[in-house]
Structure 1
Amino acid sequence: MDHQNGEVKEESPVVVVMVPLPAQGHLNQLLHLSRLISTRGFPVHYVGAATHNRQAKSRIQGWDPLTISNLKFHDFTVPPFLNHIPNPNSTDKFPTHLIPTWDAEQYLREPLAAFLKTLSQNTRRVVVIHDSLMCFVAEEASFHHNTEAYCFNSCSVFALVYFFWELLGKPADGGNLIPSYLAGRGSWDGCFNNDFREVAERNREYMNMKLSTGDLYNTCDPIEGEFMKNLTQHPILGENKNKWAIGPLNPVHLDSEMNQTNKCIKWLNIQSPNSVIYVAFGTVTSISDEQITELALGLERSGQRFIWVLMDADRGDIYAGKEELRKMQLPDGYEERLEGVGLIVRDWAPQLDILAHPSTGGFISHCGWNSCMESLSMGVPIAACPMQTDQPCNTILVTEALKCGVIVREWVHRDEIVSAEAIETAVRKLMVSKEGKEIRKEADEVGIAIREAVSKGGSSTTQLDSFLAHISRACLNNPLQLTDQPCNTILVTEALKCGVIVREWVHRDEIVSAEAIETAVRKLMVSKEGKEIRKEADEVGIAIREAVSKGGSSTTQLDSFLAHISRA
């Protein structure tokens, strides 16, 4: 096991361990959460394969992970995995090329187990926050008496309740999960393939063990309060465990000087307010050359200024095989023709800074939840073009529930190329139409509400405070004293009158003085009160020995148990 930061020595009563899924939209959400928790004074350990930790650190936006002293990264060794090239021409847009990476993450189990064992021996409570697709982690946590696991859900709550609505037979009234006007508008049909179903089924085995103590969601009341309430209160799905809506996790107030040298920001600085549409389709989906051409022509015909991130989908290891990266082709003379109107970016772009810039007025997006939260938190409306997983549901949430966007292509037409005409229409509708003006106004108001949610006293800040209070509640379970010892003390000394207390539990962090020990020993052994205590203990001892004698209560109970397990 290779720990980047060496030996683990913890003095804090509570430490937090983050275990993300190795895909960009999952890595960064848990890293953003690491910032929020570590800046509240909790030591945080972010664990994973070395290449994925490197990816998370290099791509994080809005803050620098190296500036937070109690956030540590631990590089675990996993075996080599197939680093597949994404297929842009596949009709199945699910990122199957990443599955070998996710399979390799199962090998984190052994080093993680050793790491949790070390932590549990050196601190009072270990809190493990794992991605919802890394549920095997919860089982490892369950092996330690002072370790708890919490499941982090990286998709929208609406997507979750919509999934359950479909499982429950799609009741027309929404089934106490979704409003009736949204019933049938989203879809999980065609969002996964059989390869992923195998991954999900493996994960479900651990979910069914119900080992997680609670659930965390990257969302907030202003946009999903209704769905969060429906999920929590549903008689079947609510479960008897805590749920916290603590998003958005991404910073909502950025340092305006931080990325001023970036070419995207420099270009935006010379554009008019709300005049630029940003185009990006995430990090896991590859689009075909034919679709690139249609998108290019649609943007050109719209007459709007744009920044277009034109790079292929991530491979499992983004640092390996760079020489094999696909160079996406634009129509002949396109970049020269649109110089000054459009900026083509063929590398990683600072999306959060772009969305926060006053010149950005819209976002053509695949509607991955990470992108949705970043865009909405900055008050930027979305032209939605979903491609897989939760994206069709996110599209409906953004465009129909929140009224913060337009749909470029309906999900039922997902196998068709989006035409230049459809792209032009969506861009012009969002950027220059009367309807677009209303949408931008709605998005601006939603952005304000989201930013208030993470301000002091806001709903998400309150929820995060609640979670942190929960994980730092009185620690009865510390490595020196097993969980039940303070309670056993009261049972023995006060209920049974069979002992004396040397030190009250409220003073557990203090050294027990020689004087206190002398007093307790003399009280028990030579005082009048001690004589009465010894008499009580003697009588209790007689009663206990009778309980395990023939015909005694414990013997009878054992006979009953053995008869039960050997019944016909």
Structure 2
Amino acid sequence: MVNECAPKPHVALLASPGMGHITPLYELAVRLVTQHNFQVTFLVITAGSTVAQDSYLTAYPIPDLHIVDLPPPDMSNELLNNMKTVARLCYIVEQSIRPLRSVLNGLKRPKVKALIIDMFCTGVFEACKDLSIPVYSFFTASAALLTFSLYLPTLDCKADGEYVDLPEPVKVPGCNPIQTQDLMYLVPKSMINEYQQWFMHVSRLPMVTGIFVNSWEDLESVSLKAVKHEPFFANIPTPRVYPIGPLTKQAEPVLTKYEKETIAWLDKQPKDSVLFVALGSGGTLTSEQLTELAWGLELSQQRFVLVVRKPSDCAISGFFSAGSDVDDPIAYLPDGFVERSKGVGLVVSGWAPQVGVLSHPSTGAFLSHCGWNSTVESVKYGVPIIAWPLFAEQGINAALLSNEVGVAMRMPMVGEGGEAVVVRRKKIESVVKAVMEGEEGKKLRRRAKELQASGRETLSRGGSSYETLARVAESWNIET
């Protein structure tokens, strides 16, 4: 007999800064509260937070989901500004979790049953061990990167130089080979501090009690089968992996002038006719590449929504400023582009309501950096992808989506020698036309619609992702 007066079981979640980390963990928190009758404490690292992050976490208050800010650490801005992105991110997390033990001790009862962290928060183990709190990882990237990450210590021992220079593709046991050019966006070994930080965190994956991934069988069958059945992963040993996706941001409130204009403009366009061009919360193009992209869109004569931010030679320069770009995009585009595109295209500055755009019937394709959140959102709404990877594991994701999943066409961004190249306007024009109106585009769209239905089914009661999370939640519920 259920004791209705008994307090709801309590879990906590902790994400490192960045919308790619915050969003899936927060959506997991929402599901635990609304579908599995938990109370959840969502711990927020405030150092390095962005306008986008703050707006997202405060948009929809939910009973039993408590947002708790970790005390801001005393850090030198000068020190942070001299760090590369990964090193800066890891340093912020390291300093911010110092008071974690006292914060967890001070949370309202009942005691926390588990702490769920993302991949850059592995410094929590000592505090959680002292408090007898099991730690779970939410690996917020693809299962393909998870298998690569679990294999990384082995690969690191085998390969002396950079992975991108290896003579043969990387063969993660049980998985499809990874072409070396798809590793070019990962942290190189030559960036010693950043590489060591990344290597340290992924090397700690076997220390967690279990690993959640924002994926499901139909999307990443090869990687999920490998991590479950391949002897290599059993011998590490690999903790139990729980596919619980697709977890994506819920529909966002349309608040700003730009957001309202974007949705109103889409309302006037034909079904599946608009290409949405957005490179994530942190992605940026060089000035030369942005110019070529704009000309390619114009030459294609396809309808588009183009999200523009200030160009930079650093592809990830917007990571710590997401949602705060107020520059006039016209200054960075070819002369007359905005005027010539009126009626066909819409230019948006810095930020767009991505879920609202991808879920809109007028949206027919997504030119994306292939960050995993954006990928899962696109697939969830049945929108095919033009893959334009910029950094991190996005090359691996692009290969997965085009070669294995069949929902993407890749932009040719790598030269014959494996080097990054500027994609010229005529090539952009041809790829955009092929996806928006060609036979290949129709094939990609059919496959995306199949996965849209699959994603909806797996999240429904009785579906694989729903039941997987339900079983873990039940195990927490019955623990004393």
- Do both share a fold (TM > 0.5)? yes
* Equivalent in 269, 283, 286 of residue 285 of structure 1: 283
Q: Which entry has the higher C-alpha Rg, 1 or 2?
A: 1
With over 3 angstroms needed to count, the CA separation of the structure-2 counterparts of 1:188 and 1:140, relative to structure 1, is farther
Distance in 1 separating the partners of 2:391 and 2:45: 26
Distance in 2 separating the partners of 1:296 and 1:150: 43
Residue in 2 aligned with 1:161? 147
2:136 to 132, 138, 150: 150
Output the CA distance in 2 between the equivalents of 1:410 and 1:255.
32
1:278-326: per-residue Cα shift (whole Å, max 9, x none)?
Answer: 0011122321110110000000011100001112443535588x78999
| Mapped contact 1:191–1:389 kept (Cα < 8 A) | yes
Q: Deviations for 1:223-251, whole angstroms, at most 9, x for unmatched residues?
A: 11331121122223232632210011115
Aligned to 1:510: none
Q: State the Cα distance separating 1:453 from its structure 2 match.
A: 1.2
Match of 2:105 in 1: 117
Q: Deviations over 1:166-216 (max 9, x none)?
A: 75579989564214xx553773245214142132244357x17x4421111
- State the distance in 2 between where 1:189 and 1:340 align: 38
* Aligned equivalent of 1:385: 388
**Corresponding residue to 2:31 among 24, 36, 50:** 36
1:137 aligns with 2:107: no
One-letter amino acid of the structure 2 residue matched with residue 275 of structure 1: S
Equivalents in 1 of 2:63, 2:126: separation in Å? 29
1:27 aligns with 2:22: yes
In structure 2, distance between residues paired with 1:69 and 1:258: 23
The amino acid across from 2:137 in the alignment is C
Q: Who is 1:311 aligned against? A: 309
Distance in structure 2 (CA, Å) of the matches to 1:178 and 1:399 = 15
Q: What is the number of residues matched between the two proteins?
A: 448
1:455 maps to which of 448, 451, 460: 460
Q: Given that residues 162 and 178 in structure 1 are in contact (C-alpha distance below 8 angstroms), is that contact kept between their aligned partners in structure 2? A: no
Correspondent of 2:44 among 33, 45, 48: 48
Identity of aligned residues (%): 27
- Is 1:294–1:419's contact at 8 Å kept on the other side of the alignment? yes
In structure 2, the gaps of 5 or more residues are: 159-165, 311-316
Quote how far apart the aligned CAs of 1:220 are: 0.8
Counterparts in 2 of 1:310 and 1:255: CA distance versus 1, 3 Å? closer
Quote the Cα distance in structure 2 between the aligned partners of 1:15 and 1:59.
Answer: 22
Q: Give a deviation string over 1:393-436, Cα, whole Å, max 9, x none.
A: 11111111111110112545552111111211110110111121
Contact 2:173 2:232 in 1 (8 A): no
2-side partners of 1:56 and 1:73: how far apart? Answer: 12
TM-score (norm 1): 0.72
Aligned to 2:69: 75
Pairwise CA distance, 1:99: 3.5
What does residue 358 of structure 1 align with?
361
Paired position in structure 1 for 2:179: 184
Supply the distance in 2 between the matched residues of 1:216 and 1:303 (Cα, whole angstroms): 42
Cα–Cα, structure 1 residues 338 and 444, in superposed 2: closer, same or farther, change >3 Å? same
Distance in 2 between residues matched to 1:72 and 1:118, nearest whole Å: 13
Q: TM-score, normalised by structure 2?
A: 0.84
TM-superposed deviation, 1:376: 0.6
Cα contact 2:413–2:423 (8 A) shared by 1: no
- Per-residue Cα deviation, 1:242-263 (whole angstroms, up to 9, x for no partner): 22100111157x5999999721
Aligned-partner residue type, residue 196 of structure 2: E
Distance 2:428 2:401 in 1: 18
| From 10, 14, 37, the counterpart of 2:9 | 14
Conservation of the 8 A alpha-carbon contact between 1:15 and 1:125: yes
Residue correspondence of structure 1 range 532-551 to structure 2 within 5 A: none
Structure 1: runs of 5 or more not aligned: 1-9, 88-94, 476-568
Residue 42 (structure 1) shift: 1.1
Deviating more after overlay: 461-470 vs 310-319: 310-319
- Among candidates 210, 216, 224, match of residue 228 of structure 1: 224
Distance 2:214 2:92 in 1: 26
Q: Is the 8 A contact 1:49 1:78 kept in 2?
A: no
1:45–1:73 contact (8 Å) kept in structure 2: yes
- Residue 161 of structure 2 is matched in structure 1 by none
Q: Is the 8 A contact 2:413 2:420 kept in 1?
A: no
Q: Corresponding residue for 2:437? A: 432
Cα deviation, 1:482-523, whole Å, max 9, x if unaligned, reads xxxxxxxxxxxxxxxxxxxxxxxxxxxxxxxxxxxxxxxxxx
